[in-house]
Structure 1
Amino acid sequence: MSKKLTIFLAVSMVVTIFISVIVSLNIGRKQFQQSTFVTKSLGSASPTDVGLNYENIDIAVGSRVLKAWYIPASHESGSVMVFHGQNESLSDWISAIEHLNQQGLSVFVFDYSGFGESQGEPSVAALREDASAAYGEFRKRVGHLPSYFLGYSLGAGILIDALSHNNMPANGVILVSPFSSIRDVAVQSGSVPRLFSFVVPNAYDNVTMVKSLQLPIHIVHSETDGRFPVWMAKKIYAANSNADLTIVPTPTHSDFLKSQHELGGAGEKLWSAVLAPMTSD
């Protein structure tokens, strides 16, 4: 084999590997966008269905407008800003809003860009901006009330990312059924082998980002969560000395938003753990 041919083959191999990596990364980014930001239209349910008065809020974020609800408690003891999960919108939170409100908590919940009736397209950067703008509206309404953040499922990652990049003071953070990182989720779901997890964008790396947070962090996770196994919550807990972790036996991941009647006893321990940091004073 001539020297020129050897060089040609070596260069061809390097170019082929380079192109393969670029293609794989593009596929990974596309899969991340499609599998992470699963949006949902706003349903017909509203807080008035359960007898609650609420304020319908428009939040301007650049050229787009987000939709939010603020549901004040009749006897306010605290407030909570909710970061919901994927494939959810405001209307999916009626039962949870009612339960939080019954404990004296005024509730602020908003739809991210592209979710519900909020304008725009979802992305990590856009949702980070959404969180900052929504926090400003939340703070206007709750004043000096004790305030907390509640992030559920994907919302836990959006919340941790927002707190890592924005100045958003509060009394504490409650993470319900969080995931450790998007890469871990991709491997856990079988979307990519561990060896090739690098093709998935390293966004929402909660274990790394949570290390810098100074707020008290309360993590609640179910042993029977089949989507995000409990070891993910344990990794987040181990990464921050301000965190505590409560592991409950049930319910499954998607049951959190069910009504108390539907959950029965399965949700009692979960909700007790969620509410404890916000109602203990």
Structure 2
Amino acid sequence: MVVNMSKKLILFLIMSLITTIVITVIVSLNIGQKQFQESTFAVSPLGSATPTDVGIQYEDIDIEANDRVLKAWYVPAKDAMGAVLVFHGQNESLSNWVWAIQRLHQRGLSVFVFDYSGFGQSQGKPSVEALREDALAAYTQFKARIGNTASYFLGYSLGTGVLIDALSHHQQMTANGVVLASPLSSIRDVAIESGSVLPIFSFVVPDAYNNVTGVTSITMPVSIVHSETDGRFPVWMAQKVAKAAANANLTVVSTPKHSEFLASPEQLNGAGVQFWNAVLGAMTSD
């Protein structure tokens, strides 16, 4: 009788432990999903800056993406030597890209930049699936405007993940080359690097925007540019992505900091020249 009761007690304790573990994992995954959503899709309202502030004319575009309307700008270059579809980073909108648009435009590139769902004045709620749909909708409008002009994809920061994810799922999205500026390796790596999750618990972070895995399916030439003083995504992340890509070229320069990529030349005061030269050089022959 005592032996049977001991066995029942042990079984009860084991089942209780298993139940506790299962509940803990489920709760942790839900928390991880919520944190992923909040930290990854940090949106920004549309500011007042436009390309006309730097003397450049542009087309204001509405893009239909499923049940929502996205906002975009198209900045054509006279006698364009190429055209670039931009995938911007988190906590950004079209207005943050005015100085970058000027740099690209001055090198003879037509520029198409759009705001993802929930960013700027674009409708909808951001998610991996929504941004994947946004990418294809933007690409369709981009191609309709540039015709047979040489084309490129430019992803910056989180935009590198959005871009690679889209290319992995939409085989019709093709271009002459892909440029990844300050790429992350994966959202899980970012979470570990920032200290928000311990490596042993990284499974609670959704394995989304895994550029290391996604880049393996890209057959287009890939140019990766990263700064030693990025301050947000360490160089090893770019190296990890470059190593996984069959046809990637990695350029590592000394500046700028991660958040300075979109600053004006005057604000940078010489910092970031090599970075931008590498980005532009990947899309132009000059």
TM-score range, shorter chain: over 0.9
**Could you give the per-residue CA deviations for residues 43-93 of structure 1, whole angstroms, max 9, x where no partner exists?**
011111111111110011111000000000123110000000000000000
Distance in structure 1 (CA, Å) of the matches to 2:135 and 2:112: 12
* Aligned-residue CA RMSD (Å): 0.8
Equivalence for 1:84: 88
Indicate the residue corresponding to 1:256 in structure 2: 261
> Partners of 2:240 and 2:121 in 1: how far apart?
35
Gaps of at least 5 residues in structure 1 are: none
Once the two structures are overlaid, the 10-residue window that deviates more, 135-144 or 7-16, is 7-16
Q: Deviations over 1:8-60 (max 9, x none)?
A: 11111111100000000000000000000000000011111111111110011
Q: How does 1:19-38 map to 2 (within 5 A)?
A: 19-38=23-42
Query: 2:112 matched to 1:119?
Result: no
* Number of positions where the alignment pairs a residue of Structure 1 with one of Structure 2: 281
Aligned residue for 2:53? 49
Give 3-state SS (helix, strand or coil) of 1:59's partner: strand
Q: Is residue 179 of structure 1 aligned with residue 184 of structure 2?
A: yes
Q: 1:165-211 CA deviation, whole Å, 9 max, x = no partner?
A: 01201000000000000000000001001111010000011101111
Structure label with greater radius of gyration: 2
Residue 145 of structure 1: how far off its partner (Å): 0.3
- Mapped pair 1:228 → 2:220: no
- Give the secondary structure class of the aligned counterpart of 2:123: coil
Task: Please give the TM-score of this superposition, normalised by the length of structure 2.
Answer: 0.97
In structure 1, how many angstroms separate the alpha carbons of the residues matched to 2:17 and 2:107?
A: 64
TM-score, with length taken from structure 1: 0.99
Question: Structure 2: which 5+ runs fail to align?
Answer: none
Counterpart residue type for residue 3 of structure 1: K
- Distance (Å, rounded) in 1 between the aligned partners of 2:65 and 2:245: 31
| CA displacement 1:216-245 (0-9 Å, x = unmatched) | 000000000110000000000000121000
Identity of aligned residues (%): 67
**Separation in 1 of the partners of 2:157 and 2:245?**
19
Aligned to 1:73: 77
Q: Aligned partners of 1:234 and 1:214: how far apart in 2? A: 18
Match of 1:108 among 98, 105, 112: 112
Partner of 1:193: 198
Cα separation, 2, equivalents of 1:9 and 1:279: 67
